[in-house]
Structure 1
């Protein structure tokens, strides 16, 4: 009997998640168990082990034998999803007995893990795996054990989906703020009327200096009235643009070259917000990659891939140049499309292409 409370406790409690593999194994009389979830079949974000195999043994599996796991491969076949199976139905005992993973990993440890009750769960874009095991001298799993685990598959899938959403929210919040603080640009998130929602350290320091931009009644204003007129016009235009099209204006300050304020609108749920990035020519960092990252919340790798696509590079060229697989490049491009609210490369090129290329100012040069 598997209690649904134990499963849903694991949705928000890390310790409960760590115990869940053992809980499932105990419920069906398995000797060991493992479950994990990720955003792709071969990707695991979190793993729960029952503790039968040591961390060192599992590390060897991850590094040397994961691609030879014929049980896992069988479960990934079409039609085997969201159900529990006695894996012997797909991998006969004789086939497993002759496999590399059994002879070079299991037997080399002096172990006899030979039987498996497993399932692959797909729910809300999350892929989860469950594997419960018995030794060769133990009796095979039967229909009663399959039924017990099958009755909990839906709950386990929802638990995986909840952990995935919480993980994305927490990771996005931490990584985005850290990234924005490291960019070397002042980054503002605004409502369409110019009211401040949030800003990074650079933007906070810029407002404190008060030499170009000011905060009045939660609205970001330019110190120079002419610049403020241009700023408010740019904000109004950004709030009605389609997609992530961008523009830029100069914001003059008391001394030195003016800031270049890049402005774009982004969709957050059903609402639109505006991201404004103040680039300081004196900092010698007018990087298009950094501005793409800040405007659209991309990782550095995603921003570099976006810029490369706009320059006409193909997927295979990107894969070879960056030393990653084609699947990695495709995943990065998919993430880029989501964040830029577009669905094809031509739209991506159009949106990135609207951002002005900034010339780094040398002493005595003018900003162009």
Structure 2
């Protein structure tokens, strides 16, 4: 498999996630070409809430599958037995069809005999993606093709984390990212810093400039002004261990990896409880986040670069309860607990304030993590930070007073 083909697939995933220059059907076409498959399946709700195959144009087989055979699909039945928590632990785990359902059982099944045989579903390779629930991804070959191989598993395992991240972006960020220019980026209460693999800053927004110019911050550089950077100023963490980890994450993301999160400690000598503690999320650099002068230049990954999203860890900006209800399907009680946790309090504090048992709060926390698709409290905090950008001054989300819901600003 040529590396540039994989990079092209990663480009398409993020472009489709932000609805700029590519669709999820383009992603499906690319996956099928890479894997020499006849079908790609990823059933996901559309903007109207109706389930459909995200990776292929609707055809009679999808209609037949949705109306009857989805209930007989042995692969999907196996996926239903896996929890969101287990999917998180198995992130990147790709399996061949016979590793999920024994081949002899599959070819004798009613599903294959009545439907799979005629719809090019003799051989399968797939993995599980966790957004707000477990979603199986499958690529299929017909009986005239060769079975998928271990090499195919390695190829798909490199793309699965990007598909996971892209679908999370699709579910949570698409309404706010149709045309992000410098003005919109400067309105965000999170720092946006684009760096190359040598940690040289290519761009930073207004919040990042303020953060980098703070003498007590754990991050610094030689340039505190917002905008595109023309000189080679380096981003660095003041704590050596943090700097080493940040460099590793940026190096991985700039090579096409999916990135990761970390905590940036306050400047040495500053109290650990100080509000200069930062959280950072490192992800592939996207073209429209890399240019303040060409905001509509198209989406895609800027190879050799990464985006670092930062915010104050102990100065959380919590989104309204109604927004969390709309975004993630939380109940009001769950959303109120989520906002309280984002404010930095403990589960014990929440239980005491709400006058409920600690077991009740812990159960609500587990439900919040499941519904938001967060892998843990740190991942949940990242989602809350991103959700918070939707209701700040200049927000692209507005509250509708008639039903207390939040909708994209027109």
TM-score, shorter chain, exceeding 0.5: no
Output the TM-score relative to the length of structure 2: 0.39
Specify the structure having the higher radius of gyration (Cα): 1
TM-score by length of structure 1 reads 0.42
Higher-RCO chain (CA-CA 8 Å, sequence separation at least 6): 2
